[in-house]
Amino acid sequence: MSIDKDSFYELLCKTLDPRSGKILPIDKTNESGWRKVLDIEWKGGIHFMVESSKYCWGYSYVMRDSQILSPTYRITRPDDDSIKCLQHIIDDIEDGKYRNKKTLREKIKLFVEENGLASFMNNTKWCELINDIKEKAPWECVQYKTLFEKSAPNYFWDLRYDENLVYNALDLSEIEWMKIKHVQTISEYIGRLVPDKIETYDHKSLFLEILQKHSIPYEYDESEQTFIVYGYRH
């Protein structure tokens, strides 16, 4: 079923009470994918957003400074129950539920300040590094820790299948550090009575080239044979 976004917008405007929020005009030029259907703004820059696509009624969420403050709520169909849920979110905004809620950037800034950390990377450099590793090193060679994780991971993985990065669920400014292991080990099964064939490949020069190309600061751990790129450190 094809979704008529204009009719959906008219339905939302007719059935929802924006309270003290102001309904903003919507750019209707993007019809190829997801498009904002409704944008209600309050003082303080808080927005209630509804997005829809050609074949999906869409999602709603609360945001400020282009960062989402609330869970993302799916709209399966524009029935009475869905409208009540949307109105409930609007009422929560009106009642101040999100007034003092921090965005992710604000949480990161506070965490960095409280822990006396200094920043060594930015999102552009992280993107350059990650994209090159995905393209040129398609094997389990990376691990990283975010600021809010209590403990570090104890294994390496292939960035091509990192769901946080594939679906943009992770803001790159959250990464505290990333380790890159340059020795690749491949095990080949020969038979039940024969030990597996083990081959190792050293890609140190490849990762050095990537790091230097993007002027990315790093440290080298000889014992682990890894490059360490710090997003933050003391």
> Residue 30 pLDDT > 70, yes or no?
no
Tell me the DSSP string of 60-82: EEEEETTEE-SPPEEESS-SHHH
Q: Radius of gyration (Cα) for the chain, nearest Å?
A: 24
pLDDT surpassing 70 at residue 75 = yes
Q: Is 80 exceeded by the pLDDT of residue 29?
A: no
User: How many angstroms separate the CA atoms of 84 and 196, rounded?
Assistant: 61
Instruction: Please tell me the predicted confidence (pLDDT) of residue 137.
Output: 97
pLDDT more than 70, % of the chain: 98
Look at residue 119 in the predicted model and tell me its pLDDT: 97
Q: Tell me what pLDDT residue 26 has.
A: 86
DSSP the chain: ----HHHHHHHHHHH---TT-EEPP------SS-EEEEEEE-TTSEEEEEEEETTEEEEEEEEETTEE-SPPEEESS-SHHHHHHHHHHHHHHHTTTTTSPPPHHHHHHHHHHHTT-EE---HHHHHHHHHHHHHH--SS-EEEEETT-SS--SS-B-GGG-HHHHTT-S-GGGEEEEEEE-EEEEEE--BTTBPPEEEEEE-HHHHHHHHHHTT---EEETTTTEEEEESEE-
- What is the predicted pLDDT for the residue at 31? 60
Residue 220 has pLDDT above 80, yes or no: yes
| Res 187: pLDDT | 83
**Predicted confidence band at 60 (pLDDT cuts at 50, 70, 90)?**
very high
Which has the closest alpha carbon to 87: 13, 10, 14, 16?
16
What one-letter code names the amino acid at 158? Answer: D
Q: CA geometry: angle at 109 spanning 103 and 114, to 5°? A: 125
State yes or no: pLDDT of 231 exceeds 80.
yes
CA distance 42 to 61: 14
What confidence tens digit (pLDDT) does each residue in 148-202 have? 999 999 999 999 999 999 888 899 999 999 999 999 998 878 778 878 888 999 9
Asked whether residue 203 carries a pLDDT value surpassing 90, the answer given is yes
Which position has the token pair 């999102």? 123
First vs last C-alpha separation in the chain: 54
Q: Answer yes or no: is pLDDT of 1 > 70.
A: no
Q: pLDDT grade, residue 54 (50/70/90)? A: confident
Does residue 92 or residue 6 have the better pLDDT? 92
Residue 140 has pLDDT above 70, yes or no: yes
Are 51 and 101 contacting, i.e. CB atoms less than 8 angstroms apart?
no
% of the chain with per-residue pLDDT over 90: 82
Assess whether pLDDT exceeds 70 at residue 39.
yes
- Structure confidence by residue, pLDDT tens digits, 88-124: 999 999 999 999 999 999 999 999 999 999 999 999 9
* Res. 32: pLDDT tops 70: no
